[in-house]
Amino acid sequence: MNGLIGKKIGMTSIFDASGKNIACTVIEVQPNVVTQVKTVESDGYDALQLGYGEAKAKNTSKALKGHFERANTTPKSEVVEFRNYPSAKQLGDEIILSDVFVEGEKVSAVGTSKGKGFQGVVKRHHFAGVGQATHGQHNRLRAPGSVGASAWPSKVAKGLRMGGRMGNDRVKTKNLKIVKLLLDKNLMLIQGSVPGHKGSFVIIEK
């Protein structure tokens, strides 16, 4: 798997050659540092561990400080492992945006979706509600309705769609197109939406 760690900046739009306005998500991809190299001999599988973003030393544990010192780098706020990385890298190497991605190719974005808190079935599962306010319907317009059977099985089935915590989940959006790379500013413009709030870390992979 080939990819890098980035940070979601926000959204914008650009015009393509035909004059079409394209909605884009702006991802800042500063150079990623190789903080660990895993091999089949030592770990049982091949992988590269990449670090991104600066973390305060006082908020980093001694174990992690030593881990980053071995890579001859400063503490990182985000660490992600990529299995079977196609290019061979050494501990402490930097991987920049142009090493991995080119304009026009399709990528996937992995991030943590925005948290919505506790939501009802209409917002969470797109229930239609009762649909009418007459015929004795008092305050049932957005209610879930019946949730169980009769005397048998006398319980609510597991997995029934109900109200509950919504969002704040790991989400992967596939087949996103890289519209433009601003290599001098370490920015990537991706057509479409990327999970997460502004300032959140995302994994861009292909």
For the stretch 95-109, pLDDT in tens is 999 999 999 999 999
What is the band of 151 on the pLDDT scale with cuts at 50, 70, 90? confident
Q: Does residue 145 register a pLDDT over 90?
A: no
Q: Distance of CA 167 to CAs 27, 113, 189, Å? A: 21, 6, 24
Q: What is the mean pLDDT of the chain?
A: 93
Predicted pLDDT at 49? 96
Which tokens belong to 42? 């030592």
Q: Does residue 137 register a pLDDT over 80?
A: no
Please, where are the H alpha helices in 19-175?
40-43, 62-70, 97-100, 121-125
Predicted pLDDT at 136? 77
Predicted pLDDT at 154? 87
Q: Does residue 166 register a pLDDT over 90?
A: yes
Predicted pLDDT at 133? 74
Per residue in 22-71, pLDDT tens?
999 999 999 999 999 999 999 999 999 999 999 999 999 999 999 999 99
Q: Determine which of 94-98, 129-133, 138-142, 184-188 has the lowest per-residue pLDDT on average.
A: 129-133
Task: Of 53, 92, 94, 93, give the one whose Cα is nearest residue 76.
Answer: 53
What is the band of 110 on the pLDDT scale with cuts at 50, 70, 90? very high
Q: Does residue 132 register a pLDDT over 80?
A: no
The conformational region for residue 111 under phi > 0 = left, psi -120 to 50 = alpha, else beta, is beta
Domains of the chain as residue ranges with CATH: 3-116+170-205 (2.40.30.10), 117-145+156-166 (no CATH)
DSSP class of 187:
E
Mean pLDDT over residues 113-132, rounded? Answer: 92
Which tokens belong to 187? 């920015």
